[in-house]
Amino acid sequence: MQDVLCIKRRDNIKAKGRNKNETATQNAQRRGQHSFLIEILRCPGVNQDKLTTELKFDKATTARAVKQLEEAGYIERVLDVEDRRSYQLYPIQKGLEFYPILIQLLDRSHQRLTHHLTTQETDQLFTLLRKMNPMDDK
């Protein structure tokens, strides 16, 4: 009986750890904001116009995603010194801490999508995807 209780406790502890990561993931991924967060993490100080252009979204979508990321505590907007009408976007601690989790989740997603492909087919797929979207070659 005690062994069963120990196993249940261990499983509950593991589930709580997963739930914490899943909750953080849901905060950034639920609304499709991961692309925005990754770009801000890769290019701290990018402004919304450049973000819109780089990611090929419309301005309203970018504004919504930036607002949600800011409200969730992943980024901050800082008034651009050179252009007072523009804001520069910077990741803050929560965003920096979430980055490795996000990359891990995206890697897992790639693995799920390509698990039935050979190594050569996977390489060919990523080569074709890069060709279709050359901005990823930064």
**Within-domain flag for 121:** no
Q: How far apart are CA 50 and CA 36, in angstroms?
A: 11
Q: What is the pLDDT of residue 124?
A: 95
Residues listed for the chain? 138
Phi then psi for residue 77, to 5 deg, are -105, 130
pTM: 0.69
**Within-domain flag for 66:** yes
Parent domain of 52: 2-99
**Within-domain flag for 29:** yes
Domain count, the chain: 1
**Within-domain flag for 111:** no
Tens digit of each residue's pLDDT, the chain (138 residues): 444 444 444 444 444 445 555 555 555 455 578 899 999 999 999 999 999 998 889 999 999 999 999 999 999 999 988 888 889 999 999 999 999 998 998 899 889 999 999 999 999 998 998 898 765 454
